[in-house]
Structure 1
């Protein structure tokens, strides 16, 4: 085409701005009422902008990430779908209420914009008045507002910490669950005498009667069974970890520690880390003490003779084998017998971790199962199951998800056949009018796009399934029994339920049992 020929140029079909295929994106990060209502506000604001600019409103063009934090993009399926659509040139514009809905993280916001702009997708954030079509190469406006959006959650965190600190200085409780032994009265911590009796008992037994933490737990459960003391708030028995937390908690001597932990972003995911002690905020004498400061210091300054480090045998079935009675992990317990003629006999057997921690107060005693016998039994059972299924795993592995994807593919296929027949009815058979053809064609196209999007989202859920090739590889690994089979067990087994009488039930990942 001669670009200087105006007549020829005018014949070329140019899509008007208000005919762009577009996406309206919305996101809320929590399920609080005000956040849920803001989702409707986001859509309404975008709808109003589209009306003002003479776009035709399309409900199917809305994509939402509900209850997903804007500081982590990895969990945002709708945003990943938008980026995929942009790469495939299926959309021309993405509309956001504000940059904060696009992302709270500066790096993520810039990367998302870069992907969209490079795919020639128009980016609009209404509150900031940013429009990539008119801004051109000037990124300063977008970067500036992105920086403000990234700073907002940090500012909120600082403000919240300052509000907590002000509450503490006023002697008010800053919120959350109170420590065992306390209750809330007039927004302040007050002593719950019934529970405080147990706290004092724990410190007394530990500091003045020479009882270790495990023996204290046994004593508490004995008195709990006799009805002389109350139990912990959220469990029916006293646990070793509960006793340990009480002994270490400075709240009982009137001390409040804040800013001990913070959330950081590592590889696109949030993780809680502990700050160094110099960053902690420590407040003294903020509420009534249950024990004197010297008692707490004594309990937390005990030194013990360093014993030989006990090496726990490698457990290839860790996290998989659980107690059928309480659901706790089955762990390896090791016993030794020194022979008279020299040498040592070692036994390694499975034991319920709750029973190991709390004895009969934690769970029931299991018949001893030697670990090596248990491991060999599991391997043989897996081999037997492998021979049964003969690797015909396609119908068993995530059957429900596979059926959904197959159904969507069939719907897309039928829709495309219907589209070809529609064209024939209009062009060759002349059975329908142009208006009827356009209306029907548009409906078919929208359905195809909707089903393709749903199929894409299902394909994104790969973390929730185990692939067939991994299953086959895991079965192959079982032949090498002298190697570490932890990866194979993880790929093949969902749970192993160990009963007190030694009976074992296995739930596999590759079948529906």
Structure 2
């Protein structure tokens, strides 16, 4: 029976999944039911608010803020707010408690057209609370069922859905012994080539010097290579370079709100596009080029010098005060033919301010001396052969001694991971707030975790240097390629070579001392590929 309009109401129509949002039944069905209820109760629906495709159990509810603003500004003046059902409004009462208080303070009742409440206020309050609890419990159970199914899908190696990672395609497969179809990831050959190019550019660049994420994106865009029809951005490049899926391990579930021990992330084996070794080397390069954490904690004070185009900046240290030497321009000097010339010098920054006695050294002189020293004392087949013999015994001893160290490092790694996960759990449970202090604490633990991982990687790599594969031909190829680099004019490649061989160069009043590592030297020689062009040696990539 149609009643005379006596009141005004606003109505919220919402669906919680994409399927419901894109099918008219749910939206139209709710609207028809609300309009029918309004006609029977004598209400005019002043405005419909639509909230499609968002979960009622979690997620930001911007529509509620819009309703509050409209009421406060007088855009709507409702006597009630109407929903199809309380479960359509929310499945977690705590998420909307403040909004309900807002309505109560303004004497605007929240009405469900399918769940009428008793007239008695106290009884209605109890009924509403019970309904909210049942809805929340149902949602939690539904979430757990879905989560268990997705976990089962992931554990069996199938694709769990979502955006297909770049470099892969999703194909349907039938589960053996059933008619059920699942999805699996296979390598997309065209995209995989671009992924390999991205990692190669990050590791070796175009001429031996690594490119940053911005430069990689710029290079790909200039070559008209698209990201599935879109331009490349530095964020997308960074995303690819940090995903373990590309060496064959897709981690699913690491962004869950609940990160309990009973629901850990799942690693799914997928076809690899690159090697894990290249991934780790690229990651180390990314970390080395990142001077600060998100909270401006210095994590790599040397990276700026090492990235400098100047040959020895980043390697030169003052033996007297420990500072890194910098490049400076000297005063102009007039030559006999009437022209002027300005030399550049390597200079200790504490020479003027703190009275350090480290001398200024002309750049061209010191560059030439270091190159000559490396050629005479390092790039010598006899020297390298002796290094290889010496390292064979050292590696055997290291393998024995490193077992305990690896055990301790792995324990520390597990502890740091557990501490990080516990902090995330406490934030998710509302025990801690993600303030600046907690962010800094998390950043420090992440940096410590990266350092431990790097130490583990270094031990493992040193234990796997293929010394037995060395031979005179490989050593000769390395020496020939390296001498060609040092004799050339490409300072970028020359610096990359020096960074592979030299650890540091100490400068004092009367001498310059070059320090290197036999292990680093042996590792570089082991990476020299036979029968390849020596224009840009394969071992010239990034400081490691």
Shorter-chain TM-score above 0.5: no
TM-score under structure 2 length normalisation: 0.41
